[in-house]
Amino acid sequence: MLIQLINPNTSTEMTAVMAASAVTVALPTTKIMPSTPLHAPKSIECALDETIASAALLDLIQEGKQQGVDAHIIACFGDPALDAARELADAPVIGIAEAAFQLASLISHRFGIVTTLSRTLPASEHLLQKYGHKQHCSGVRASDIPVLELENLAPEAYQLLKNECLEAINLDGAEAIVLGCAGMSNLVEKLSQELPVPIIDGVTAAVKLAESLHQLGLRTSKAGHYGKPLQKPFIGRYSHWGV
């Protein structure tokens, strides 16, 4: 199968990190097609970043659709534009936060989330609520590492992240840890060796869920909420979306 792995920010370094993680877990018959937008913020860390990035992300979904991909992954922990992408796409669309929550809830009574900046905490809390996983989460913690610092993670910053994971386990009662950024996907192995609970990265979780849906022949239902977008004129720079 062909999976389009979309990094909605413009950091090609981060795209390479997540693509390498995806390839390590993908079946031999799965091809990973990494996509990076040309027009978006370099990292996504607040609502404005997410909203600006969403239009280019949807353009990439459209490109993937035209190339006949079998699944799309939105690899940013805010799951930006996920509902719109599901309306647009024919193939399943998986957001890495939802994928990680789903897997974490299967292997732990309560999981903790350790993410990047403190200001992204409410975004994760909103997603837990939206997806119905609030009762499975022991708490959301921030390492206060900016997304782009993950690209060349200093040992002190890694220690900050690990300390938050330890506090999530020891103080909050987390029985598994979900990493709250696609740029953390290369840290799973080291953290798994050093911490006593399972560590879940949304990128690899999304790849395995995409493969499962594909193998079962399951696609997004077009019966209601995720029905095709309504046809109407779009004006100006978005006229390509309209009729």
**Rounded CA gap, 168 and 231, in Å?**
47
Q: At what angle do helices 202-216 and 96-107 cross, to 10 degrees?
A: 90
Q: Which residues, numbered 120-149, are part of the site for ligand 2AL (CB under 6 A)?
A: 120, 147
Report if residue 164 touches ligand 2AL, rule: CB under 6 A. Answer: no
Closer Cβ to ligand 2AL, 102 or 214, answer by number: 102
- Partners of residue 71 on adjacent β-strands: 3
Report if residue 114 touches ligand 2AL, rule: CB under 6 A. Answer: no
Tokens 């693509």 belong to residue: 19
Applying CB under 6 A, which part among 23-31, 55-63, 177-185, 216-224 lies near ligand 2AL?
A: 177-185
CB of 11 to ligand 2AL, least distance (A): 7
Applying CB under 6 A, which part among 38-46, 57-65, 131-139, 218-226 lies near ligand 2AL?
A: 38-46
CB of 182 to ligand 2AL, least distance (A): 4
Per-residue x/- marks for ligand 2AL, 222-241, CB under 6 A?
--------------------
The DSSP element (H or E) to which 2 belongs, if any, is: strand 2-6
Give the rounded distance of the alpha carbon of 99 from its chain centre.
Answer: 8
Burial of 64 (0-12, 13-18, 19+ CB in 10 A): buried
CB of 70 to ligand 2AL, least distance (A): 23
* Beta-carbon contacts of residue 40 (< 8 Å; ≥ 6 apart): 8, 9, 10, 52, 53, 56, 57
Q: Which residues bind ligand 2AL (CB under 6 A)?
A: 9, 43-45, 76-77, 115-116, 120, 147, 180-183
